Amino acid sequence: MLLRFLPLLGLAGLSLTARPAAAQTPAATRAQDSLFVRQNYRKLEQLIPMRDGVQLSTIVYVPLDASAGRPYPFLMERTPYSAGPRGADNYPTRGPGPSRELSQEKYIFVYQDVRGRYLSEGQFEEMTPALPTAASDQARRAPKGKPQAHDESTDTYDTIEWLLKNVAGNNGRVGIMGISYPGFYATASLPTAHPALKAVSPQAPVTDEFIGDDARHNGAFFLLDNFDFTNSFDVPRPQPLAKYTDLFPLKIDDAYQYFTQLGPLKNANAPQYFNQRARIWNEYLTHDTYDAYWQARNIRPHLTGIKPAVLVVGGWFDAEDLFGALHTYQAIEKQNPGATNRLVMGPWTHGAWSRPDWSSFGPLNFGQNTAEYYRRTLETPFFNYYLKDKGSFNAAEATVFDTGTNEWKSYAAWPPRAALPRTFYLDGAGQLSTAPTSAPADQYVSDTANPVPYAEGTLASRRNEYMIDDQRFAAKRPDVLSFQTTALAQDLTVAGPITADLWVSTSGTDADFIVKLIDVLPDAAGTQRLVRADVFRGRFRNSFEKPEPFQPNVPTEVKYELNDILHTFQKGHRLMVQVQSTWFPLVDRNPQQLVNISTAEAQDFKKATIRLYHEPGHASALTLRVQ
């Protein structure tokens, strides 16, 4: 089964189904690494008290030669996926650091179960809301042992304070990193950070779950991932647990068929499924607008006054938290002039930069081990420089991989200042042109009983490769519109976010819109390689807080931003744009009526005729930033 994040030491953030056999660490290497850990580190297990008296389970690996004469910095990960392995004699087979490179460098490595998870005390909260800065400062200054307001920043602060005072042989500096949910905890350490916190690397951080990360994209619920994830993660925990078990047996052979048979979302709480036991699942569905629940869990407004050096890392093929990496970097950049804040974006799926090798993905061959390159030239030097004063760290503001040419590029800003907007119009007769025309509207019938699959074939779990898949299977369907340019006379490099501006109508009162940007290869098959795609739930076109119905059959603008790319469409290739209204079962089905989707009945789901307009004043278009 697909897991949103993998809770294993040194492998946090990797999907179980996404690790190819070629990327597995050989048994001999694992044995060598385990021996290195035992010969060079001692292991401590400790409950560390927080300001309100709650104790957090923490595992510390201290280099045996750590002393006042040879002090080491701390490098910490805070996780909801277990700080283990547990037991004095149970050492990790890869580590103890998040990479072999950092383990060999030697740090005091710290892993902590966050509040309310595994062996830590307290109540877990999904994406713990951040305290206002003043409240956070007040909580730190209050007497210990008394009930106090807390968030992940205060818990991190209290942990650092304890480590500095109680673990001998430290140099007084701390770094934090983490992938995915641990990436969120890395981000959450930044507001009013402890003075000893010098370097933070949020990697694929969960950042805003309603707008663009794991739970929803632009309001549309990501069904396939969250059904699986919450089954294993959202288990009631009346007391600390060393191990969690699934809420219900989950065996899927064909996800498209499975979720078609499941029917409306309300059926997920039937006795054989969640049965009202999954608090987070219910929160996801109950809060179906961008209300106070989601707004409180958006960490971006709190990323002010940032003092540690920051290295934000993400993957262009990250199906979970591509939005989080890009928008965490942007929020820090906009709200902290002069802060040390850098961005790395590589050709990676979720956390793939931590794998031993990432030289290829699906049909793509990068001609280099991009994961090893990142760790050797960026991650390890970053922590060494800011925590050990070792070497230098002169990385560009943005180190970004071009997925069209397989080259690393360096930029002084992201998006690049030289990338200027160019608009491509979705024209009649399937043309993608640089000027609008008066072509009549195109139309298709969106049938919720026969939704467009997100990927081709029979798939048991979410296919990571859907983000680069050949889209010819979709282009053949009558409920998918395709528009393409002529063959390019020269290379075209697109760098930055993509703006979709659709003029549409529907015979219903709501609709989803999925826009895809595609690179059509000049091969014999005419391969349509997906470059970027995303969904927008039409009811939120004017406000994520206050959904509005469509007026049936009236042209209406739906405008939204797709995540950034750096992709060179090479000479002889074509640009293609596809538009559709279902993307199943990656995204839940919209009934195409403005009803509460989480409580909708089967009869609420309707067919709808969707029209896409081209004429001036109602010209559907895609705006790219072109270098």
DSSP letters spanning 188-229 = HT-TT--TTEEEEEEES----TTTTSSSEETTEE-HHHHHHH
Same domain, 301 and 372: yes
Is 576 within the bounds of a domain?
yes
| CA gap 276, 81 in Å, rounded | 23
Q: What tokens were used for 554?
A: 């009236």
Note whether residue 12 is domain-resident: no
Angle among Cα 15, 380, 394 to the nearest 5 degrees reads 120
pLDDT at 23: 41
Q: Last residue of some domain: 249, 268, 294?
A: 294
Residues of the chain with pLDDT under 70: 1-33, 134-147
- Which two three-digit tokens encode residue 273? 């499924």
3-state secondary structure (DSSP) of residue 35 = helix
Select from 236, 270, 294 the last residue of a domain.
294
- Closest alpha carbon to 627 in 311, 413, 310: 413
CA distance 365 to 301: 39
Please report whether residue 441 resides in a domain: yes
- State whether 585 and 475 are in the same domain: yes
Report strand pairing: 216-217 vs 170-179: unpaired
The CATH number that applies at residue 593 is 2.60.120.260
Owner of token pair 């663009």: 212
Residues 520 and 606 in one domain: yes
User: Are the C-beta atoms of residues 189 and 153 closer than 8 Å to each other?
Assistant: yes
Structure tokens at 211: 């707008």
Please tell me whether residue 79 adopts helix, strand or coil conformation.
Answer: strand
Residue 527, CB-side half-sphere exposure with 13 Å CA sphere: 12
Question: Is 405 part of any domain?
Answer: yes
Is residue 197 within 8 A of residue 139, CB to CB? The reply is: no
Q: 449 and 542 share a domain?
A: yes
Judge residue 242's burial from the number of C-beta atoms within 10 Å of its C-beta, 0-12 exposed, 13-18 middle, 19 or more buried: exposed
- Domain of residue 316 covers 30-208+297-411
37 and 185 both lie in a single domain: yes
Q: For residue 606, is it within any domain?
A: yes
Phi, psi of 409 (to 5 degrees): -125, 150
Pair (527, 401) in one structural domain: no
Residues 381 and 438 in one domain: no
User: What per-residue confidence (pLDDT) applies to 8?
Assistant: 34
Same domain, 252 and 321: no
Separation CA 115–CA 130 (nearest Å): 14
Q: What is the pLDDT of residue 25?
A: 60
456 occurs within a structural domain? yes
284 and 301 assigned to the same domain:
no
Residue 9 lies in a domain: no
The predicted structure's pLDDT at residue 94: 75
Is residue 114 one of the residues assigned to a domain?
yes
Task: Check whether residue 245 and residue 328 sit in a common domain.
Answer: no
Strands 197-203 and 309-315, how do they pair? parallel
Say if residue 290 is in the same domain as residue 317.
Answer: no
Residues with Cβ < 8 Å from 594, sequence gap 6 or more? 509, 510, 539, 547, 548, 549, 550
Same domain flag for 545 and 454: yes
Domain boundary among 294, 309, 327: 294
Interatomic CA distance for residues 175 and 167, integer angstroms:
15
Q: Is 166 left (phi over 0), alpha (psi -120 to 50) or beta?
A: alpha
Number of domains composing the chain: 3
Angle at 31 between CA 38 and CA 95, to 5 degrees: 55
* In contact, 498 and 562? CB cutoff 8 Å: yes
Instruction: Output the domain CATH number for residue 151.
Output: 3.40.50.1820
| Residues making up the chain, counted from first to last | 627
Strand, helix or coil for residue 481: strand
